[in-house]
Amino acid sequence: MDLTLSPEHEALRATVEDFARKEVAPVIGELYERGEFPYEIVAKMGAMGLFGLPFDESYGGMGGDYFALCLALEELARVDSSVAITLEAGVSLGSMPIYRFGTDEQKREWLPALTAGERLGAFGLTEPGGGSDAGATRTTARLDGDEWVINGSKAFITNSGTDITSVVTVTALTGDADATGRREISAIMVPAGTPGFRVSKKYSKVGWSASDTRELFFDDCRVPAANLLGERGRGYAQFLSILDEGRVAIAALSVGLAQGCVDESVRYAHDRVAFGNPIGSYQSIQFKIADMEARAHTARLAYYAAAAKMLAGEPFKKEAAIAKLVASNAAMDNARDATQVFGGYGFMNEYPVGRFYRDAKILEIGEGTSEVQRMLIARQLGL
């Protein structure tokens, strides 16, 4: 497998790297501390075309591929994960279900603003009592004439309550279980501001403090029957396929955080003097940073391999799960080690590694826990 990036992919990677260093790094610390959503950064990413990377030009996209999105996520997450997850969720969870399963009319109505980054979309799958058991949906939607009437709630939904959120797609029970016990779960698009659709205040989170995450409530919320996304009864299955792609993207984001820990630790090891010498001259620090680099490198190979299979149209469920598992572990381990390299300064929010440490844990949970990834890998092995 040739791991050399194409000239187009390398140009994109370098452009996003430069953007992250010059536009994100100088301001994200204060935004993170205040728990403030980075509207100006999102607008700039939209102008760069990042929200449209894997979409056809006919819907306002850039005509690129999913690997291009992954490269952008890695470079953003080397500096900050709140910005990276805003892009990842906006594309893979907000826009991609509409792109994959929407009618042409739905695509033309919603995608141009989403791919331009002028608006954000979200996907409501997880429920307060669900977690990893996302198929245990309790939210309901019944047809009343030519409208769906939705009741229920969703939890931990990214990009769902910003000033520029335009639509949230939710999974809901739309009928009784069939003879085999399979429950009819469908996906329905709910425009922001629809009566009966209420968004809670932002969660107080351990990390990703500059991203938007909320609980959603539906109380006799009515939307047109035409807002059904994809085939009735296939909403859960549709979203599982979206999650396979999303796991590759989260793996790329995790690699970015892991590599950012290496970047900061190498810089600090040159500058910090202890016992008369830069700490980078001591083998204990050298070996710790060497292990960090090895983790980041290995995790990058894992998501490159998964992306290659995905773009080739081959089955990639196992490879996506492996990439997500390996990369999230690398992010968590590197964040812990980087904090140790920095010592007391690593515990201060003014240093990036403090943010990295707070942001890393969710990568082992969001879009499928590490336990779910192991379960998927085992299933693909026939166990």
d(CA 214, CA 198): 10
Range of the domain at 229: 122-233
Q: At what angle do helices 39-48 and 25-34 cross, to 10 degrees?
A: 140
The confidence band for 129, taking pLDDT boundaries of 50, 70 and 90, is confident
Q: Are residues 24 and 50 in the same domain?
A: yes
Q: Does some domain include residue 51?
A: yes
d(CA 44, CA 382): 46
Q: Are residues 220 and 331 in the same domain?
A: no
pLDDT at 133 over 80: no
Model pLDDT for residues 40-87, shown as the tens digit of each residue: 999 999 999 999 999 999 999 999 999 999 999 999 999 999 999 999
144 three-class SS = strand
Q: Is 124 left (phi over 0), alpha (psi -120 to 50) or beta?
A: beta
Q: Does some domain include residue 252?
A: yes
Q: Are residues 193 and 327 in the same domain?
A: no
Q: What contacts 153, CB < 8 A, 6 or more positions away?
A: 127, 128, 139, 215, 216, 217, 218
Q: What is the CATH number of the domain that holds 104?
A: 1.10.540.10
Q: Does some domain include residue 307?
A: yes
Q: Are residues 245 and 227 in the same domain?
A: no
User: How high does pLDDT run on average in the chain?
Assistant: 96
Q: Does some domain include residue 203?
A: yes
Model pLDDT for residues 144-170, shown as the tens digit of each residue: 999 999 999 999 999 999 999 999 999
Answer yes or no: 367 catalytic: yes
Using the 3D structure, point to which of 218, 233, 248 is the last residue of a domain. Answer: 233
Q: How confident is the model at residue 289, as a pLDDT? A: 98
- Going by DSSP bridges, is the β-strand pair 165-175/120-124 parallel, antiparallel, or unpaired? parallel
Give the residue-averaged pLDDT of 244-256.
97
Q: Does some domain include residue 267?
A: yes
Q: Are residues 211 and 273 in the same domain?
A: no
The confidence band for 95, taking pLDDT boundaries of 50, 70 and 90, is very high
Give the residue-averaged pLDDT of 217-243.
95
Model pLDDT for residues 3-26, shown as the tens digit of each residue: 899 999 999 999 999 999 999 999
Q: How confident is the model at residue 202, as a pLDDT? A: 94
Q: Are residues 108 and 146 in the same domain?
A: no
Q: How confident is the model at residue 141, as a pLDDT? A: 97
Using the 3D structure, point to which of 77, 99, 119 is the last residue of a domain. Answer: 119
d(CA 288, CA 120): 40
Higher pLDDT, 240 or 102: 102
Model pLDDT for residues 295-344, shown as the tens digit of each residue: 999 999 999 999 999 999 999 999 999 999 999 999 999 999 999 999 99
How many domains is the chain built from?
Answer: 3
Q: Are residues 224 and 186 in the same domain?
A: yes
At 83, list the tokens: 């910005």
pLDDT at 177 over 80: no
Q: Are residues 276 and 352 in the same domain?
A: yes
Using the 3D structure, point to which of 62, 87, 119 is the last residue of a domain. Answer: 119
For residue 232, count other CB atoms closer than 10 A to its CB: 16
Q: What is the CATH number of the domain that holds 186?
A: 2.40.110.10
> What are the distances in angstroms from CA 285 to CA 128, 268, 269, 355?
43, 11, 8, 21
Q: Are residues 35 and 67 in the same domain?
A: yes
Q: How confident is the model at residue 178, as a pLDDT? A: 72
d(CA 323, CA 47): 30
Q: Are residues 360 and 245 in the same domain?
A: yes
Q: Does some domain include residue 99?
A: yes
Indicate which residue of 88, 127, 264, 367 is catalytic: 367
Q: Does some domain include residue 114?
A: yes
DSSP code at position 200: P
- Judged by average pLDDT, the poorest of 56-65, 179-188, 253-262 is 179-188
Q: How confident is the model at residue 180, as a pLDDT? A: 72
Following CA atoms 11, 12, 17, 20 in sequence, which dihedral angle do they give, to the nearest 10 degrees?
140
% residues pLDDT > 70 (the chain)? 99
CB 129 within 8 A of CB 136: yes
Q: How confident is the model at residue 148, as a pLDDT? A: 98
> What are the distances in angstroms from CA 336 to CA 163, 209, 285?
35, 19, 13
Q: Does some domain include residue 2?
A: no
Q: Are residues 229 and 252 in the same domain?
A: no
Q: What is the CATH number of the domain that holds 286?
A: 1.20.140.10
Q: What contacts 134, CB < 8 A, 6 or more positions away?
A: 125, 126, 127, 171, 236
CB 250 within 8 A of CB 192: no
Q: Are residues 86 and 173 in the same domain?
A: no
